[in-house]
Amino acid sequence: MRQAGRSLPEYRAMRGGGSILDAIADPALTAELTLQPVHRYGVDAAILYSDIVVPVNAIGFGVDVQPGVGPTVEQPFVQESDLRRLRPLEPEVDTPYVLDAVRILTNESPVPVIGFAGAPFTVASYLIEGAPSRTYGRTKALMSGNPDLWFRLIERLADLAISSLRSQIDAGVAAVQVFDSWAGALSPAAYERFVQPATRRVFEAVSDVPRIHFGVGTGEILHLMADTDCDVVGVDWRVPVDVARNRLGPDTVLQGNLDPAVCLGPIDVVEAEVEDILRRNNGHPGHIFNLGHGVLPETDPAVLERIVHLVHEISPDLNCQWADG
């Protein structure tokens, strides 16, 4: 449950004001914020408290993360000379605090810790648009208008993701998740040509740990996202779990897919939706229950607590099975 912390009063108290990019410079604080949802909700894994724009910011691209808005970039990526602003990441020098936080968590976390990176397309979209976008117009215009520059950009972002993920694995994370949150904006043909090869290279470089591939609104490209050498495919609530499994076959592990907005409704409706997802999964061992996207900040923590409890109650034998391999 990404951004589960945001619903917690203890998160807001400990986090204080300012940018998340400043907060994560303190590894002890990062470790505590990572574990807050584990302690409060009893989830089976922790996701490192960080952000997908941390590596590009660490090499000096100039990114800000504004609460309630998301990442913004002062000087967006427009032309070939901007490639010079994307040098290789040296994780031990550029993001030592991330690795220190992982090392603390490797000792202290009662559950497996998931490391992560932004997928090349989604990070590129932030660098090119400069701010959250509805249309991804500039990003798509770069793909079609200057494919050569597009490929050089996303191959560079793939290298950044690989360096970051490898360093998190070396520091002790048990699994990795690659967030291509906005890939659903692309047609299948555009995804296959302009995105899939770079993303596949990322997954191939981290094949020694379980690898989760996540996106939103990706129903029509799920088969292409699955075909990237990943182990688990995230599905949002727009595609029911049984329909996703029909599309991808019985051997694909799925993660999902409660609509985060359902958590704002009456508790009996929340419970019915959770039961429906588990019924559609029909006891298949290849399922990681999750929300289809991040927790909405106004969510009542008691609702999330109830969801975790209910999932454990209904599928007790399956708890944490994937973490043991």
Binding site for ligand CP3 (CB under 6 A): 2-6, 20, 47, 49-52, 65, 67-71, 116, 179, 181, 293-294
Distance CA 54, CA 152 (A): 20
- Contact in structure between 87 and 94 (CB atoms under 8 Å): no
Q: How far is the CB of 165 from ligand CP3 (least distance, A)?
A: 13
50/281 with CB nearer ligand CP3: 50
Asked if residue 99 lies in contact with residue 159, where contact means CB atoms within 8 angstroms, the answer is no
Smallest separation (angstroms) from ligand CP3 to the CB of 37: 8
Smallest separation (angstroms) from ligand CP3 to the CB of 80:
26
CA angle (259 as vertex; 314, 65 as ends), nearest 5: 125
Q: Which is nearer to ligand CP3, 48 or 153 (CB)?
A: 48
Catalytic-residue membership of 126: yes
Q: Smaller CB distance to ligand CP3: residue 71 or 91?
A: 71
- 84 an active-site residue? no
Nearest residue to ligand CP3, by Cβ distance, number only: 181
6 or 193: whose CB is closer to ligand CP3? 6
Peptide bond into 257 cis (omega under 30): yes
Mark whether 15 is an active-site residue.
yes
Closest approach of ligand CP3 to the CB of residue 72, in Å: 10
- 268 noted as active-site residue: no
Give CA–CA dist 32/15, Å, rounded.
10
Sign of CA dihedral 186, 231, 311, 112: negative
Tell me the DSSP string of 216-231.
SS-GGGHHHHHTTT-S
* Residue in this structure with the two tokens 């799920």, named with its chain if needed: 222
Q: Which of 49, 126, 136, 191 is catalytic?
A: 126
In angstroms, the CA 224 to CA 57 distance is: 29
Q: Is 6 a catalytic residue?
A: yes
CB 48 within 8 A of CB 42: no
Query: Alpha-carbon distance 118 to 42, whole Å?
Result: 26
Q: 52 vs 303, which CB is nearer to ligand CP3?
A: 52
From the list 40, 41, 51, 191, the catalytic residue is 51
CB of 118 to ligand CP3, least distance (A): 7
Q: Which amino acid is at 157?
A: L
Catalytic residue among 15, 156, 166, 245: 15
Q: Which residues are catalytic?
A: 2, 6, 15, 51, 126
